[in-house]
Amino acid sequence: MISTGTSPKPNQFKNVREKALRNWLKHTGRQTETYRGVTTDHFNCGYECEWQNLSRAIYGHGYHVSIFCSMGEWASNVTDMLTDTKYDKLKFNDLESQKILFRYYSRFISISMSIFEDFTVIIQKADIKLGKQDKARNRLSSDVSLINFANFTNHIVKHKAGTDENSPHLHYCNHHLKKHFEDSGIDCPYFPVIKIGSCNVTNPDAICIPSITQIVDMLLYAYQITDEIFKQEDQVAIKNIAKVYGKASQFKNIYSN
């Protein structure tokens, strides 16, 4: 697991965001730049370009594996959110701030889950031993189970209208649920509470929203595991992915060195 240093000061969203951004950029090799007043990033030193170059070492410089560049571009959504400063003055213990931050965290969780789903498919296709979804998700899991994270996402962020009273989804049980943010730095004072690993809660009193610094750690771990699979000496994983997503191309990868 990547060490991300000391915890940010409690109740200050700015510190949480800045810490998550530093870790994200440092460990993915991404670099930010400003284009027409907007902060964006590029990943020519990132994992995705390394994997692209591995495929070209096998099939030639004109070869292109679509999912590598496409994933790299999609993951810029994480950078977009972590460089957005307009929420920096919000406080975790302020009710109005909580409403706004819950929307922000919901978007961040949704984007992150989509990336985890991509990683799951990639390693399933790269390594036949990981063909089952749960097995692939377990391989990508660090300190937090990706299966549990997906279950939380499905209950609270994606499929919110489910009506199972023993496993309530957001719109079914949200009688103005209290919100607790793990990034606040304090223990959740509410019970019972919906949280990662505990969605089967009857009559919950609150939602415990996971830490974005922890989610970034999870994303970085997924990158590491996928990188290990692709860099195995037999090159089977890269070849398996190339069979599905690769083709000879007339254009040069714009992110190549």
Q: For residue 255, what pLDDT is reported? A: 43
Q: Which residue has the higher pLDDT, 40 or 1?
A: 40
- Name the least confident of 7-16, 26-35, 137-146, 214-223: 7-16
Position 10 pLDDT exceeds 80: no
pLDDT in tens, 188-201: 998 999 999 998 88
Find out whether 233 and 55 touch, Cβ atoms under 8 Å. no
Q: Which residue has the higher pLDDT, 160 or 216?
A: 216
User: In whole angstroms, what is the distance from residue 66 CA to residue 3 CA?
Assistant: 31
For the chain, the average pLDDT equals 91
* Residue 199: Cβ within 10 Å count: 18
- Name the least confident of 23-32, 218-227, 247-256: 247-256
pLDDT in tens, 209-240: 999 999 999 999 999 999 999 999 999 999 99
Position 250 pLDDT exceeds 60: no
Find out whether 13 and 92 touch, Cβ atoms under 8 Å. yes
Q: For residue 253, what pLDDT is reported? A: 47
pLDDT in tens, 93-144: 999 999 999 999 999 999 999 999 999 999 999 998 998 999 999 999 999 9
